[in-house]
């Protein structure tokens, strides 16, 4: 997934990170995100690093686990349609 997140323009990082946070925080399933990933996201948040490639990577991973279709919709909304196929292939590999 790191190669995918590296293709996202830096100008979209802040907006994308905010939208992905909304998905993760809106989850009803509190076990959807593994504790290690949650800890990493909290650490990045405290360091104001959620809008960096590492932050986008972590948030994308978490949001796909919570609601993959909503995550894909956000990528499409932001004009990142070419990355959706790559994200979907990662999800199917992980299944």
The predicted-structure confidence for 52-65, as pLDDT tens digits, reads as follows: 999 998 999 999 99
- The whole-angstrom separation of Cα 43 and Cα 57 is 14
pLDDT band at residue 5 under the 50/70/90 scheme: confident
Report the candidate in 51, 50, 87 with the shortest Cα–Cα distance to residue 69.
87
- The whole-angstrom separation of Cα 16 and Cα 35 is 22
Per-domain residue ranges of the chain = 40-95
Q: Is residue 34 scored above 80 in pLDDT? A: yes
The residues near 81 (Cβ < 8 Å, ≥ 6 apart) are: 75
- The whole-angstrom separation of Cα 35 and Cα 80 is 28
Task: Give the per-residue pLDDT at 90.
Answer: 67
pLDDT band at residue 93 under the 50/70/90 scheme: low
Q: For residues 20-29, give the mean pLDDT.
A: 93
């Amino acid at each position: 997934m790191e190669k995918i997140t590296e293709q996202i323009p830096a100008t979209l990082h802040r907006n994308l990170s905010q939208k992905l946070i909304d998905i993760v925080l809106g989850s009803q399933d509190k076990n959807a995100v593994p504790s290690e990933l949650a800890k990493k996201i909290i650490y990045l948040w405290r360091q104001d690093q959620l809008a960096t490639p590492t932050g986008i990577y972590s948030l994308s991973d978490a949001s796909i686990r919570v609601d993959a279709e909503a995550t894909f919709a956000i990528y499409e909304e932001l004009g990142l349609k070419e990355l959706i196929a790559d994200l979907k292939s990662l999800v199917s590999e992980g299944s």
